[in-house]
Amino acid sequence: MNTRLHNVPSFDETVPVLVVGGSLVGLSASLFLARQGIQSLVAERHPGTSIHPRVSGLTARTMEIFRSVGMEGEIRREEPPFPREFGVMFVESLAGQMFDNLMEDMSAYFTDLSPVEGNGIAQDLLEPVIRTQAEQSGVDLRYNTELIGFEADEEGVSAVICDRSSGETRQVRCMYMIGADGSKSGIRTRLGIGQHGEGTLCHLVSMVFDADIHELFGRQNAHMCFFANDTASGSLVMYPGTFRRPPIYRLDVIYDPGEETIEDYPEERCIAFVRAAIGIPDIPVVIKKVLTWEMAGRISDSFQQGRVFLVGDSARVQPPSGGLGGNTGIAEAQNLAWKLAAVLRGEAGPDLLATYDTERRPVADYTVEQVITLSQQREHEGSEGITVNTLHVNMGYRYPKGALVPEANGEQLPNVQPPELWTGQPGTRAAHIVLQRDDRAISSLDLFGSRFVLLVGPEGQQWLRAAQLVRKTLNLPLDMYRIGGHEGDLANPGNDFLGAYGITPTGAVIVRPDGYIGWRQPAAGESNDALEHALSNALSTILFR
């Protein structure tokens, strides 16, 4: 790939956003942009969606994100929720002696803090669902297409993409480019963005196979096991699926790339490894796919350079422990998408885009650190040594700065804590509470997703009047709701809105399109002009206007 293009006389096409990489995170980014009314072109070098299960599980927070773009039902139809209790076994083999049974921390998938449950869908089943939704939303998806060069300037990005089948190249001009091109990102490399972190942890051979072992997993109520015996050691994972019966499985064993290559793992050897992991010498096994991969912990030193952004594995790589890699990437895509949309629509200043790196890179540092710790504790300390709580990692973080208005009360807040302890502080996820609309129960989270939302207490009608003026003055889409009271737009049967959002009956909160608190004022107590100024100033600050 060449980063600089010379003598390009014209462009074959122009598009607001070019997404390079159409796997899980790149596809999600294109869908989130489309739901915000922003067109994108996705260039994916592979001929179609993933044929490897890879990511296996969406947390409750990720399902909240997909719910906000109307996709929860589509995912549920493909893959119903998995059981609330899943074990991770330490065994001699699947059919052999058990050494330990670590009940997996499923708090990130099942929590009363969310209106939705997590989901066990694997990547090869999830990507086609996202693809369908993206195409129906107008995303231009081009498979078998790769980026061969680009040049960024102050006004946009000029890129050349190539159809790998025909060899035809096209010059594309975009306002912004998203690099979702994986852990070996050519975009990151060519931009000269470095990485930090633990680096390589190990190299593995991954074998996807069919075998009649569903009952063996079922006896232990497990979806994964680590095994060690005289023949082999590694991990064994089950991939269930509503329309994938029987399930398929993945075996990972460590190898040394300095001593071996994938050619050293022919079908016969792979079958021998699988049988050793299962513990039944003559069990029929069908090898579906053999791949090599690197387990590593690396975070890019920057998630942005000018008009180019990194998401997913291009931005950060982490071990699969806890299943948070793809989930973290989807959160990155959501964070970036609403900001790009606001800038492209002229609702925000371009400096808003710098807050993508400001907000998401510290989360990546923390997440990678915690996932590596979890992986090490599993390996060395077993069930007695696990201290990492995946719910805190996935839902309990706070953006201390970024697209928000910090409170000037001098309170020292942690960056991560149990999510139930947050009460509407700017930079935290807006809490789920049960509301009632026309005798129908909904979640407060159902109010968020495409626009800024103003929530006010039952005596906050002054804020609503001020917001109507601000909405016109700023020419900004803004939804408004009064929660609770006899005349509120939405009833609050549990009477928990004020406590969850940390305001009084006259207070107000601004929630960003991604469901995070951008600003709050616990009480009104001021003139109408002062309230209008407070709202206008808060939205302008968040949007860098």
**pLDDT over 90 percentage in the chain:** 77
373 and 475 housed in the same domain: no
43 and 176 housed in the same domain: yes
Enclosing H/E stretch for 175: strand 169-179
Of 394, 413, 444, which one is at a domain's C-terminal end?
Answer: 394
484 and 407 housed in the same domain: yes
Nearest to 109 by CA among 59, 152, 145, 148: 59
**Is the pLDDT assigned to residue 269 strictly greater than 90?**
yes
Residue 2: which pLDDT band, with cuts at 50, 70 and 90? very low
Note whether residue 291 is domain-resident.
Answer: no
Q: Which domain holds residue 71?
A: 13-79+119-194+302-394
Residue 34 and residue 13 in contact, taking contact as beta carbons nearer than 8 Å? no
Q: How far apart are CA 48 and CA 142, in angstroms?
A: 9
- Over residues 122-176, the pLDDT tens digits come to 899 999 999 999 999 999 999 999 999 999 999 999 999 999 999 999 999 999 9
What pLDDT was estimated at residue 6? 47
Nearest to 395 by CA among 121, 112, 183, 122: 112
- Over residues 70-121, the pLDDT tens digits come to 999 999 988 766 666 666 788 999 999 888 876 567 789 899 999 999 988 8
156 and 24 housed in the same domain: yes
376 and 412 housed in the same domain: no
Enclosing H/E stretch for 91: strand 87-91
What pLDDT was estimated at residue 322? 75
Of 369, 394, 419, which one is at a domain's C-terminal end?
Answer: 394
170 and 52 housed in the same domain: yes
Note whether residue 204 is domain-resident.
Answer: no
In sequence order, the β-bridge partners of residue 435 are 442
What pLDDT was estimated at residue 1? 58
Angle subtended at Cα 206 by Cα 205 and Cα 211, rounded to the nearest 5 degrees = 130
What pLDDT was estimated at residue 85? 65
Question: How many structural domains is the chain composed of?
Answer: 2
- Extended strands (E) in 478-542: 478-482, 508-511, 517-521
Residue 38: which pLDDT band, with cuts at 50, 70 and 90? very high
In sequence order, the β-bridge partners of residue 89 are 101, 225
- Over residues 344-393, the pLDDT tens digits come to 999 999 999 999 999 999 999 999 999 998 878 776 655 566 678 888 99
Residue 353 and residue 347 in contact, taking contact as beta carbons nearer than 8 Å? no
448 and 529 housed in the same domain: yes
Note whether residue 28 is domain-resident.
Answer: yes
CATH number at residue 157: 3.50.50.60
384 and 432 housed in the same domain: no
Residues 6+ apart with CB under 8 A from 88: 101, 102, 103, 104, 222, 223, 224, 225, 226, 378
For the CA atoms of the chain, what is the radius of gyration? 24
Residue 210 and residue 249 in contact, taking contact as beta carbons nearer than 8 Å? yes
340 and 425 housed in the same domain: no
Lowest mean pLDDT, pick from 59-73, 141-155, 314-328: 314-328
Within 13 Å, how many C-alpha atoms sit on residue 287's CB side? 19
Nearest to 500 by CA among 488, 492, 491: 492
Nearest to 109 by CA among 63, 53, 72, 54: 63
Note whether residue 5 is domain-resident.
Answer: no
In sequence order, the β-bridge partners of residue 178 are 19, 309
Angle separating helix axes 354-380 and 325-344, nearest 10 degrees: 180
Residue 251 and residue 273 in contact, taking contact as beta carbons nearer than 8 Å? yes
- Residues 523-535: what's their mean pLDDT? 89
DSSP string, 59-73: -HHHHHHHHHTT-HH
- Residues 255-269: what's their mean pLDDT? 96
Residue 342 and residue 211 in contact, taking contact as beta carbons nearer than 8 Å? no
Q: Which residue has the higher pLDDT, 544 or 79?
A: 544
**Is the pLDDT assigned to residue 240 strictly greater than 90?**
no
513 and 459 housed in the same domain: yes
What pLDDT was estimated at residue 175? 98
- Over residues 219-236, the pLDDT tens digits come to 777 778 899 999 999 999
Note whether residue 255 is domain-resident.
Answer: no
φ/ψ (deg, to 5) at 141: -95, 125
Note whether residue 200 is domain-resident.
Answer: no
Q: Which residue has the higher pLDDT, 457 or 217?
A: 457
Note whether residue 309 is domain-resident.
Answer: yes
Q: How far apart are CA 338 and CA 336, in angstroms?
A: 6
Note whether residue 104 is domain-resident.
Answer: no
What pLDDT was estimated at residue 81? 65
What pLDDT was estimated at residue 5? 47
CATH number at residue 515: 3.40.30.120
- Residues 513-531: what's their mean pLDDT? 92
339 and 443 housed in the same domain: no
Mean pLDDT of the chain: 92
Residue 523 and residue 509 in contact, taking contact as beta carbons nearer than 8 Å? no
What pLDDT was estimated at residue 527? 84
Residue 66: which pLDDT band, with cuts at 50, 70 and 90? very high
What pLDDT was estimated at residue 3? 43
- Residues 322-326: what's their mean pLDDT? 84
413 and 475 housed in the same domain: yes
Of 378, 394, 410, which one is at a domain's C-terminal end?
Answer: 394
In which region does residue 544 sit, left (phi positive, over 0), alpha (psi from -120 to 50) or beta (all else)? left
What pLDDT was estimated at residue 382? 57
Q: Which residue has the higher pLDDT, 290 or 79?
A: 290
